[in-house]
């Protein structure tokens, strides 16, 4: 069983998957920073100082000045602003992956087209070959 496990781990697909997951986590951190620190502040300014991450619906009935205060008090909240940020993160990641795949496909070696089968000779040539073969057979 140990040998089988070693063979499984050493397969290239498993290692590639592990590298992909690690890179994905690192990429997600970068995108989160891009969204939260670079994209959302200008959008908030354009919308009149709106910070999506502080948009929430308080289900407890008590007023809190911010989402952090509501969470600290243990209030039940629907955090739709955080959800909006998550959607924006997803769209940016999806667009970045689209661009990456598009570029990789552009640089990948395209498969060589299969050589075309030789065209069948014209009917007259086929008849001439048959006549030639018949004459050879008669000699």
Summarize pLDDT for 38-67 with one digit per residue, the tens: 877 787 788 777 667 788 888 888 888 888
Q: Angle, nearest 10°, between helix axes 80-107 and 12-33?
A: 130
**12 pLDDT above the threshold of 70:** no
User: Is residue 78 very low, low, confident or very high in pLDDT (cuts 50, 70, 90)?
Assistant: very high
**15 pLDDT above the threshold of 80:** no
Summarize pLDDT for 93-138 with one digit per residue, the tens: 788 778 878 888 888 777 777 777 778 888 898 889 999 999 999 9
Domains, the chain, ranges and CATH? 2-111 (1.10.1200.120)
- The answer to whether the predicted template modeling score (pTM) of the entire model surpasses 0.85 is no
Distance linking the first and last C-alpha atoms of the chain: 73
């Amino acid at each position: 069983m140990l040998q089988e496990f070693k063979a499984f781990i050493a397969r290239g697909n498993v290692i590639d998957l592990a590298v992909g997951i690690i890179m994905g986590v690192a990429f997600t951190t970068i995108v989160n920073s891009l969204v939260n620190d670079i994209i959302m502040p200008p959008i908030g300014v354009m919308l009149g100082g709106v910070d999506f991450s502080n948009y929430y619906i308080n289900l407890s009935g008590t007023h809190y000045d911010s989402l952090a205060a509501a969470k600290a008090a243990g209030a039940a909240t629907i955090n739709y602003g955080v959800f909006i940020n998550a959607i924006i993160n997803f769209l940016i990641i999806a667009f970045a992956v689209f661009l990456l795949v598009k570029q990789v496909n552009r640089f990948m070696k395209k498969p060589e087209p299969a050589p075309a089968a030789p065209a069948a000779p014209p009917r007259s040539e086929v008849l001439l070959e048959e006549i030639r073969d018949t004459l050879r057979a008669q000699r």
